[in-house]
Amino acid sequence: MTDIAKRYKHNPLLSPKDLKPSNKHMIIECLLNPGVFEFNGKTGLLVRVAERTVQKEGIVSVPIYNNLGKVEILNFNLNDPKLDTSDARIINYDGMDYLTTISHLRLLFSDDGITFKESEAYPSIFGEGEYESFGIEDCRVAKIEDTYYLTYTMVSTNGVGVGLRTTKDWKNFEKKGMILSPHNKDCAIFEEKINGLFYAFHRPSSPELGGNYIWLAESPDAVHWGNHKCIAKTREGKFDSNRLGAGAAPIKTEKGWLEIYHGATAGNRYCLGAILLDLKDPSKVIARSEEPIMEPKATYELTGFFGEVIFTNGHQLIGDKINMYYGAADEFVGLATFSIKEILKTLEQS
Ligand code: MAN
C-alpha cells in the first residue's frame, strides 16, 4: 500500500450544492483545488468555483468574460460537425478551444478547519480583462511577512499563464499582472526568501522538445523571475508519466524543502507524490517518490466531473501534521491529513 493519506471521514468537505452560483444564469458544476491560508486566527480557503451556463436542449453554451468583466454566453448547435465535446472540460469548435465552465475564486473561512462559511465582508475574486476572459483557476497562497501572494492560472484565448495579486486584508488587492507567460501554470512561491531572493516553482509546457515539467525560478520582487532551472521531469511507466506540477508552497523540514506535487498519466489519472529539495539550494533534488503518496480511491475521487483526479494546491501545518485540502474528481473539495515524518520516511526508502 502506498497511499498514506488519512481521509476525513465525512469527506467530501464541500460540494457544488454548498454554495450559491454567482448569478442567475449560472449553475455551479464543480468546487475544486483551494488555496489555503491563515488569517485573523481562522483557516481560509480560496476555493475555485467552476460554473456552467444553464443548458438548453440541443445546444451547448459556454460562458466567457468580455473586456468589461461581464459574462457573455456563446451557443453551439450539438449537431454541428465542427463541434467536439469529447472532453468534459473543453469543447472545440472549428479548431478553437472553449472551456465548458468558467472559474472564479471564493473566500471561505473556518474556526475548526472543517466547517467553512462564506462572509459578505470578503467578496469573491473574478477574472478581469483580456488575459482572464476564460476565468481564473487553482490559486496558491504564500504568506511572506505581512503580505499574501496569490499565484493563479489566468485563462483566455491568448493562452494559459500565471497571474499574481497581493493582499494584506483579503479585501483590497494589488494586481501585478501576468508574471509567467503562456503556457505556464502551477506556480507556488516559497514562504521564505533564500539569500534575499524569492523562489517559486512553476510549470511551463514545451510539448515538442521537453514536456510538462516542474521548474524553479528566482526573483528579487516576486514579479520578475529568472535563473529558471528544471527540477523534475515526467517518468515513463510511473504515476507522473505524462505531466506534473507543484502543489502549494513547500514545507521547510530539517531534511530539506518538502513539496507535495501532482503527477498524471496520459490517461489523466492524477495522483500526489513528494519531492525533497536542498534547503540552501532548492534546485538540488535529494529524493522523489517512486510511488504516489495518495491516489484516487474513494468514490468521490473516482467519479465526478472529471474522475480519477486528486489535485492539491493548499494545506495548513499543525506540528508534524499536514491538513491537506484537495480537489477530488474536479468536483469536490476533500480534506486529508499526512504526517511529515511519514512522507519523509517514504522518501528515504525510495
Ligand atoms: C489540470 C488543472 C487542474 C485540474 C486537472 C485535472 O491540471 O487545470 O485544475 O484539476 O487538470 O483535470
CATH number where 326 lies: 2.115.10.20
Residue at 275 is within a domain = yes
- 341 SS3 class: helix
Q: Is the CB of 134 under 6 A from ligand 1?
A: no
CA of 196 to the centre of ligand 1 (A): 33
Q: CB count, 10 Å around CB of 74?
A: 13
Q: Is the CB of 247 under 6 A from ligand 1?
A: no
Please identify, by atom number, the ligand 1 atom nearest to the C-alpha of residue 138. Answer: 9
Residue at 183 is within a domain = yes
User: Using omega within 30 degrees of 0 as the cis cutoff, is the peptide bond preceding 12 cis?
Assistant: yes
* Residue 42, φ and ψ in degrees, nearest 5: -115, 160
pLDDT for 256: 98
Residue at 1 is within a domain = no
CA of 261 to the centre of ligand 1 (A): 12
Residue at 208 is within a domain = yes
- Number of H helices and number of E strands within the chain? 2, 26
Number of compact structural domains in the chain: 1
CA of 123 to the centre of ligand 1 (A): 24
Using one digit for the tens of pLDDT, what is the confidence trace for 142-182?
999 999 999 999 999 899 999 999 999 999 999 999 999 99
Q: Is the CB of 270 under 6 A from ligand 1?
A: yes
pLDDT for 217: 98
Long-range contacts of 22-28 (CB under 8 A, 24+ apart): 22/49, 22/51, 22/104, 22/124, 22/126, 23/71, 25/53, 25/54, 25/63, 25/71, 25/73, 26/51, 26/52, 26/53, 26/54, 26/63, 26/71, 27/51, 27/52, 27/53, 27/54
Element (H, E) at 299: helix 299-302
User: For a substitution probing ligand 1, which of 330, 331, 332, 333 has the most ligand atoms within 8 Å of its CB?
Assistant: 330
Residue 196, phi-psi category: left (phi > 0), alpha (psi -120 to 50), beta (remainder): left
Cα–Cα distances (Å) from 253 to 118, 201, 317, 340, in that order, read: 33, 17, 12, 8
pLDDT for 1: 55
pLDDT for 201: 99
Q: Which amino acid is at 341?
A: K
Element (H, E) at 342: helix 340-349
Contact between 31 and 137 under an 8 Å Cβ cutoff? The reply is no
* Distance from C-alpha of 239 to C-alpha of 338, rounded to nearest angstrom: 19
* C-alpha cell recorded at residue 122: 470578503
Q: Which amino acid is at 12?
A: P
Q: Is the CB of 33 under 6 A from ligand 1?
A: yes
Using one digit for the tens of pLDDT, what is the confidence trace for 194-242?
999 999 999 999 988 999 999 999 999 999 999 999 999 999 999 999 9
Residue nearest to atom 9 of ligand 1 (CA): 138
Q: Is the CB of 149 under 6 A from ligand 1?
A: no
Q: Is the CB of 327 under 6 A from ligand 1?
A: yes
pLDDT for 65: 80
* Distance from C-alpha of 342 to C-alpha of 345, rounded to nearest angstrom: 5
Q: Could you say which residues of the chain have pLDDT below 70?
A: 1, 69
Residue at 125 is within a domain = yes
First-to-last alpha carbon distance for the chain, in angstroms, is 14
* Residue 341, φ and ψ in degrees, nearest 5: -55, -45
Q: Is the CB of 213 under 6 A from ligand 1?
A: no
Cα–Cα distances (Å) from 53 to 43, 59, 61, 62, 101, in that order, read: 31, 11, 6, 6, 8
Domain assignment of residue 161, given as a range: 6-349
| Cα–Cα nearest to 331, from 28, 4, 20 | 28
* Distance from C-alpha of 317 to C-alpha of 338, rounded to nearest angstrom: 10
Residue at 201 is within a domain = yes
* C-alpha cell recorded at residue 5: 493519506
